[in-house]
Amino acid sequence: MEVWYGAEQVPASLSAPGGVGAVVTMGIFDGVHRGHQAVLGRVVELADELARGGERPLAVAVTFDPHPRSVHRPEVDLPLITSLTDRLASLNDLGLDAVLVITYTLDFAAQSPQDFVRTWLEGLLGARAVVVGDDVRFGCRNSGDAATLEEIGRADGFAVEIVSKIRSEEGRRWSSTWIRQCLKDGNMGQARQVLGRPHRLRGVVVRGLRRGRELGFPTANLEAATAGVVPPDGVYAGWLVRGGGADGGGQRLPAAISIGTNPTFDDVPRRTVEAHVLGRADLNLYGEEIGIELVERLRPMLAFDGLDPLLVQMRADIEDTARILEVPVPEPIRPEDVTAQ
Question: For the chain, what is the HEC assignment?
Answer: CEEEECHHHCCHHHCCCCCCCEEEEECCCCCCCHHHHHHHHHHHHHHHHHHHHCCCCEEEEEEEECCHHHHHCCCCCCCCCCCHHHHHHHHHHCCCCEEEEEECCHHHHCCCHHHHHHHHHHHHCCEEEEEEECCCCECHHHCECHHHHHHHHHHHCCEEEEECCCECCCCCECCHHHHHHHHHHCCHHHHHHHHCCCEEEEEECECCCCHHHHHCCCCEEEEHHHCCCCCCCEEEEEEEEECCECCECCEEEEEEEEEECCCCCCCCCCCEEEEEECCCCCCCCCCCEEEEEEEEEEECCCCCCCHHHHHHHHHHHHHHHHHHHCCCCCCCCCHHHCCCC
Cα–Cα distance, 99 to 337 (Å, whole number): 45
Peptide linkage before 66 cis (omega within 30 of 0): yes
Distance CA 60, CA 26 (A): 9
CB 205 within 8 A of CB 285: yes
Q: Is 274 a catalytic residue?
A: yes
User: What are 241's strand-pairing partners?
Assistant: 252, 291
For the beta carbon of residue 18, count every other beta carbon within 10 angstroms. Answer: 7
**Residue of 151, 161, 274, 326 with catalytic role:** 274
C-alpha distances in Å from residue 273, one per residue of 93, 308, 319? 26, 23, 20
* Residues annotated as catalytic (active site), given as ranges: 274
